[in-house]
Amino acid sequence: MTTPFRIAVLASGRGSNLAALLAARDRGELPVEFVLVASDKADAGALTLAGAAGVPTLALSPRDYADRASFDHALFERVAGTKPDLLVLAGFMRIIDGAALTPWAGRMINIHPSLLPKYRGLHTHRRALAAGDTEHGASVHFVTAELDGGPVIAQARMPIEPGDDEQRLAERLLALEHRLLPAVVADIAAGRIALRDGRVCLDGQALAAPLNWRNGMLSR
Ligand code: GRF
């Protein structure tokens, strides 16, 4: 028997992307072991979901630490103790200290609700609408010290429809996020997607552009 691929999830909020990962695992589409769900918010919905699913949880409050670097050091030391193969940031709403990230290069991914490199940071739906974009989407990328700036692995796209407002757009996109993230994690767990020399590779070949999630699968 091969050792299961171990993932830890970091989340600050309701945890719908965590729920999507757990559901994909339960459907047999994501053969991974959830070793930890950690949060910077003790009342995060993600922690409740994890507890209900029998996944170990950890809540650390930044208020208990002198500065960002010491909080991040403590958090990632605890995370490292669970020996994850991959860290998944799913709505983890903190900028992470660069030194804390270094050991996780190529082993930490984030989901962001925009078609990166467009709209790094917050209020992505509002900004896409304000810009008059006809298309919106979500991206999964490897995490680097640059906020929402690491190499993009895959994206899911959708048209912006007449009558879309910020909330409707966010809801429609979230449904796509819930498909995109488990698909990317599954391909990383299978060893198909990896970061090599700063470039995203699929089956050993560097990608010229992010993969697209469409018709239920990731494709070039
Ligand atoms: C998602 O929109 C994700 O793209 C962003 O934060 C949100 C988290 O939502 N990074 P949830 O907690 O997974 O429901």
Q: Please check the confidence at residue 64 and state whether its pLDDT lies above 90.
A: yes
How confident is the model over 103-135, as pLDDT tens digits?
999 999 999 999 999 999 999 999 999 999 999
How confident is the model over 185-202, as pLDDT tens digits?
999 999 999 999 999 999
Pocket mutation for ligand 1, best pick of 9, 12, 16 (most atoms within 8 Å of C-beta):
16
CB 140 within 8 A of CB 88: no
Amino acid symbol at 38 = A
Distance (angstroms) between ligand 1 centre and the Cα of 90 equals 6
Q: How far is the CA of 102 from the CAs of 23, 148, 196, in angstroms?
A: 31, 16, 15
Q: Is 13 in the pocket of ligand 1 (CB under 6 A)?
A: yes
Q: Report helix, strand or coil for 215.
A: coil
Q: What is the DSSP letter of 177?
A: H
C-alpha R_g of the chain: 17
Q: Name the strands in the sheet holding 152-159, side by side, starting at the edge strand that comes first in the sequence.
A: 57-59, 32-39, 5-10, 86-89, 108-112, 135-142, 152-159, 211-214, 217-219
Question: In whole numbers, what is the pLDDT of the chain averaged over residues?
Answer: 97
Q: What is the DSSP letter of 165?
A: -
Q: If we measure between CA atoms, which residue out of 103, 105, 121 comes closest to residue 113?
A: 121
Give residue 81's pLDDT: 98
For the CA of 110, the nearest atom of ligand 1: 10
Q: Please check the confidence at residue 1 and state whether its pLDDT lies above 70.
A: no
Say which of 73, 112, 125, 178 is annotated catalytic: 112
For the CA of 12, the nearest atom of ligand 1: 12
As a whole number, mean pLDDT of residues 20-34 equals: 98
Q: Is 16 in the pocket of ligand 1 (CB under 6 A)?
A: yes
For the CA of 19, the nearest atom of ligand 1: 13
Confidence band of 3 (pLDDT split at 50, 70, 90): confident
State if pTM tops 0.95.
yes
**Which tokens is 143 given?**
């995490």
